Amino acid sequence: MNPALAIPVNALVERLRSHERESEAIFLGLGDLFARLVAETDRSARESRRQVEEVLAQAGGIGSRRTRRTHAAGAELEAFLVEAERFYARIAERDRAFLEALQAGALRLADLDGIIARVRADSEEMEIVSLNAMTVALKSGANGRAFSVITEELKRLAARTISLTNEIAAIGHDLLESFDALGTEMRELEATQIRFYGRMRDDLVVGFEKLGEHVSETAKVFGELAAKAARVRDPIALIMQRIQLQDIIRQSLDHVIISMVEATRDEGDAVEESDEYAFAVSVAELSTSLLDDVIRKVKEAGSHFGGDIADVVGAVETCEDERMTATAGTERMAGTASDAVVEESRDYLERKTRVLASARRLAERVNELDELFKTLGVLLGRFRNIFTASRIETARNKALSIVSNTVDGMGALTERIEVDSGEASALTKNFIKTATAAVLAYAEAQIRDDERIRGVTARIVTEFERLETARSNLARAVAGFTLYTPAFIELIGDARAQVDRIDAVAANLTEARGDLVAFRDGAYDAAIALGEDDPSRHDIANERLRRMIERFTIFTHKKAAGELADFEVEEGAEQGAITLF
């Protein structure tokens, strides 16, 4: 073995073996990495599908009309709302009946104003009569002294009656205004009820329907995204196929190493030194050609891998952009609807309580009228006594005969006041009876209603909380939806870093090629120096070349060597036929 050939060849072989190991480590590492990436792609697809199902499941099955449970829940809610509607309709009807009963009494009570006006007018006339009678009594001197006392009392009673009728009239006006206010309160109560129930039904029914639609639409969009994201498996599978190129690269480098080692093998004294150098030139040229093929393949692999990874990354980024768009603006859809229901229910109950309190105050006010009429009745009794005393006094005292007509007028007025007062009193008592019964019945019904309303409200709150929980869960599922697992994203980053190392391998092999060319040129010059006329001729040690290329496993390399040495080669394995996978 020629040391001048062995030293540089050994160094070259060692470098090529190092590059072979490096490239094999890179490609095998990529093979392992992409095998895991394929598995992670499948896991990402399964996870995405699971999350799509979770979108439906997190919303409590809402929108998934295939389930019996959903139908049952929807039917139960609808039945509850129908019953609640009937319940509130019964309350509204009872409230209207209560108001109508009170208003009917109020209309009759409105007649009180005219009656009291007549009593007041008769009382004022009575006051005038008493003044006339008093004047006559005073003119009669001692004979009229007793009668003057009677007329003084009559004047006082008339004034008290006038004051009492004014008080009754004032209370009557207040009552009528209070009835109007009660009517307004009752109408507001009914409006509150209609608004409360209307909102309750709309928010619940429409809320669940819209949520169901949103769930279905979200599941559809996410399902399509998941299917699209899973397509990234195709370019990853293509990369897996390209990784098999490493087998060809390894075999090609093996051929270069075989050739270079063959150039340094000791053939004994039978071979001239000049022939050894000429053989080294031939082997170096063949190795350079083979190394060019390896460098080209490595560069192509790096370019293809880079493009494939870019396709994968592009597909991932596109899917991620679409996912972000699909989830953008998705906020927690749950609000405070249940709080609003509780507040409106509380407002409704408070209005009903105020209505009842107003009705009770009305009844109490009418009771005040009754007391005033009792006082008026006492006054009328004294009017009758005075009238009787006046008749006796005028009959006994002839001097007072001139006021007999006045006394008769007093009697007529007393009778009219008594009739009107009786009518007013009867009207008031009738209203008291009607109003008291209505108020008591309304109060008892309200006690029952309040308990039922609280029960209905509690159920409504529960339904709203269920709706809010479903909305919240859906929003959380949407916000947490992913197309690729964190491990997938990490593996993609690792793959890009590994592919960048392939370019470094190509650069190292190119540098080794330069050393190989320098070796060839040195061997050429040495052969010339030793008297070789044409170191590039390849007929030297033809059998030696033949034995060497028989060890090649790639047919194209055999063919190239045969063409170089000018001999036929047997069929070998086509390039790429032998693989590691």
Per the model's pLDDT, the better-predicted residue between 75 and 25 turns out to be 25
- What residue ranges do the domains of the chain occupy? 3-63+233-328+483-565, 78-197+335-479
| Percent of the chain's residues with pLDDT above 90 | 1
pLDDT (0 to 100) of residue 537: 56
Residue 73 to residues 191, 207, 238, 405, 456: CA-CA distances in angstroms?
30, 14, 50, 89, 17
**DSSP for 130-158, written as a single string:** HHHHHHHHHHTGGGGHHHHHHHHHHHHHH
**pLDDT tens digits, residue range 482-498?**
888 888 888 888 888 88
pLDDT (0 to 100) of residue 67: 43
Q: How far is CA 288 from the centre of its chain?
A: 68
**pLDDT tens digits, residue range 191-234?**
887 777 777 777 777 777 777 778 888 888 888 888 888 888 88
**pLDDT tens digits, residue range 440-453?**
888 888 888 888 88
User: 578: which DSSP letter?
Assistant: S
Tokens encoding 570? 């047997």
pLDDT (0 to 100) of residue 379: 86
Mean pLDDT of 36-58: 81
pLDDT (0 to 100) of residue 366: 79
pLDDT (0 to 100) of residue 573: 45
Report yes or no: 22 and 296 within 8 Å, Cβ to Cβ.
no
**Per-residue b/e over 425-438, b at no fewer than 16 CB within 10 Å?**
bebbeebbebbeeb
Report yes or no: 112 and 424 within 8 Å, Cβ to Cβ.
yes
- Residue 577: pLDDT band (50, 70, 90) is very low
Alpha-carbon gap, residue 496 to 510, rounded angstroms: 22
Residue 252 host element (H or E): helix 245-263
Residue 29 to residues 9, 116, 244, 301, 304: CA-CA distances in angstroms?
29, 111, 12, 14, 17
Alpha-carbon gap, residue 540 to 543, rounded angstroms: 9
Mean pLDDT of 443-467: 81
Alpha-carbon gap, residue 357 to 365, rounded angstroms: 12
- pLDDT at 276 exceeding the cut of 70: yes
- Residue 511: pLDDT band (50, 70, 90) is very high
pLDDT (0 to 100) of residue 441: 83
- pLDDT at 555 exceeding the cut of 50: yes
pLDDT (0 to 100) of residue 242: 75
**pLDDT tens digits, residue range 394-432?**
788 777 777 788 888 888 888 888 888 888 888 888 877
- Residue 279: pLDDT band (50, 70, 90) is confident
- Residue 565: pLDDT band (50, 70, 90) is low
**Per-residue b/e over 350-372, b at no fewer than 16 CB within 10 Å?**
ebbeebbebbbebbeebeebeeb
Cβ-based neighbour number of residue 527 at 10 Å:
25
- pLDDT at 189 exceeding the cut of 70: yes
Question: In the predicted model, what is the mean pLDDT of the chain?
Answer: 78
Tokens encoding 184? 């307004």
Mean pLDDT of 59-66: 47
pTM summary value: 0.56
**Per this entry, what is the length of the chain?**
581
**pLDDT tens digits, residue range 355-389?**
888 888 877 887 888 888 888 888 888 888 888 88
